[in-house]
Amino acid sequence: MKLAAMTAGRLKAMLARKEASCADIMRSVLDEIEKREPSVRAFITVRDPADLLREAEKVDQRVLRGQPVGPLAGLPVAVKDNLCTQGLRTTCASKMLADFVPPYDATVVQRVKEADGIILGKTNMDEFAMGSTTENSAMQTTRNPWNTDYVPGGTSGGSAAAVAAHETILALGSDTGGSIRQPASYCGVVGLKPTYGRVSRYGLIAYASSLDQVGALARNVEDAALLFSVLAGHDPKDSTSLDVASPEGLLSDPPARLRIGVPKEFFGPGLDAEVQEAVEKAMSALASHGAQLVRISLPHTEYAIPIYYIIACAEASSNLARYDGCKYGYRTKSEGNVIDMMTASRTEGFGEEVKRRIILGTYVLSSGYHDAYYNKAAKARTLIRRDYDEAYRDCDVIMHPVAPTPAFKIGEKTSDPLAMYLVDIYSVIANLTGSPAMSVPCGMSRGGLPIGVQITGPALSEPLLFRVAYQLEGLT
């Protein structure tokens, strides 16, 4: 079996027994990138192979000298291209930032380096993290490794595809409305969106600041737990960072009397029969090992998509105002006054979906519409959060599909923005509530495409989610 196809846990064990070296692992991953990247196109930027091998060899030398190394020692880690990397191009898959090279590392990138992980390169994404398929990238279209005619999901499609195609061992992503969990489901990997504030957002290029969260993508639950344990922790550079203890006991047994909430609103019209069957089988597997399935209702679920897109677009309108052609990023070559320059720079630098969301957000924040749309959405968001607080009185976790269907064909939904927005119908709520949520593979469609189940819990319940996911992974 190729080293690049192995889990981080198995590679760590092989390194400890000196059955492989960090340089061996890096060479294997680089071989897979050379082989798979022309068809998958998961990366926007891959670092120079000679530099990557030098870093791997340095870790090997420290191990030979008996020096301590970090928990990610020598493991290649891919980084979504909206996380700042010092000296390495960070584009957000946009013409607007095509040549931007940050002068500092995002906190999560810094923590990976401190844990002796090796930053492999930057993965493709929907432009400024706006989309559900990674088709909105200004750079290229990433394809699903299981079938390259299909989308990998978005917006962290490059990270999920890279893990699934064995082009990296671990990957970082960001999740604003399902952007880690949905591509994890489509590509058959594990994806975690942590509690809002549990992982630092410092150095994450903002889309919607009250929704964005950095998380982990990995080949199995154990690997996701390893990466999350490195990323989590308080960061004084992030004003929303929670000052809580590091998570422990991520892979122990779940509670003997685990109560799984099954929301009726997530199993109705629009849900693909194969997805429903796979998710119900996953829940039944846990029930056969002592879990109790509890029927629950989340009555304000039907408002989740409009609430999400009002809030997300409003925050995008504010956050993306900084890209004006003056300070950094793309600047038009056309002549004119300052207003003309800004207008042309933004018109030429942003893609169609980004411009659509900026216009929507500017509209709902404008005079006369702020109260009718944005304030009303903010109040309705509170009602959704209360629905979940009420539900957790009767259950420990909630389980349901990640997306209504398995991955669909490239180009299938690009002409219909509303249909594309509805792809996120099961995933946006975890961002509106700030809850941790995880996608775990639970089956395959008859067409040979992966299906994931979503496990959601109360704030800071990541240890419980990992324990449930670990048991489920063993059963399925």
pLDDT digit string (tens) for 329-338?
999 999 899 9
Would residue 37 count as lying in a domain?
yes
- Share the mean pLDDT of the chain: 97
Q: Which two tokens stand for residue 453?
A: 């189940």
Instruction: Give 218-248 pLDDT, tens digit per residue.
Output: 999 999 999 999 999 999 999 999 999 888 7
Angle ∠(112,222,163) on CA atoms, nearest 5? 65
The boundaries of the domain holding residue 55 are 3-231
Question: Is 128 within the bounds of a domain?
Answer: yes
Task: Indicate the helix (H) or strand (E) that contains 221.
Answer: helix 221-231
Q: Is the four-CA dihedral 147, 119, 137, 454 of positive or negative sign?
A: positive
Q: What is the pLDDT of residue 367?
A: 87
| 8 A C-beta contact, residue 52 and residue 75 | no
Residue 21 maps to a domain? yes
Rounded CA-CA distance 172/141 in Å is 19
Q: How many domains does the chain have?
A: 1
CATH number of the domain within which 176 lies = 3.90.1300.10
What is the largest distance, in Å, between two alpha-carbon atoms of the chain?
A: 70
Query: Is 294 contained in some domain?
Result: no
Tokens 């495409």 correspond to: 449
Residue 83 inside a domain? The answer is yes
Residue 460 inside a domain? The answer is no
The per-residue pLDDT for 247 is 84
In a domain, 138, yes or no: yes
Peptide bond into 155 cis (omega under 30): yes
């923590």: which residue's tokens? 111
Please give the order of strands across the beta sheet that includes 450-456.
43-46, 118-123, 76-80, 170-175, 213-218, 190-193, 437-444, 450-456, 397-401, 259-263, 292-296
Considering the domain boundaries, does residue 238 fall inside one?
Answer: no
State phi, psi for 211 to the nearest 5 degrees: -120, -30
Low-confidence ranges of the chain (pLDDT < 50): none
Distance CA 290, CA 285 (A): 9
Among 361, 474, 12, 430, CA closest to 195 = 430
- d(CA 303, CA 246) in angstroms, rounded, equals 34
Report how far residue 361's alpha carbon sits from residue 309's, in angstroms, rounded to the nearest whole number.
Answer: 8
Q: How far is CA 148 from CA 21, 100, 161, 448, 449, in A?
A: 32, 30, 10, 12, 11
Q: Which residues contact 46 (CB under 8 A, 6 or more apart)?
A: 33, 37, 120, 121
> In this predicted structure, what is the pLDDT of residue 253?
79
The confidence score (pLDDT) of residue 250 equals: 87
162 CA to centre of own chain = 13
In DSSP terms, which residues pair with 204 in a beta bridge?
Answer: 83
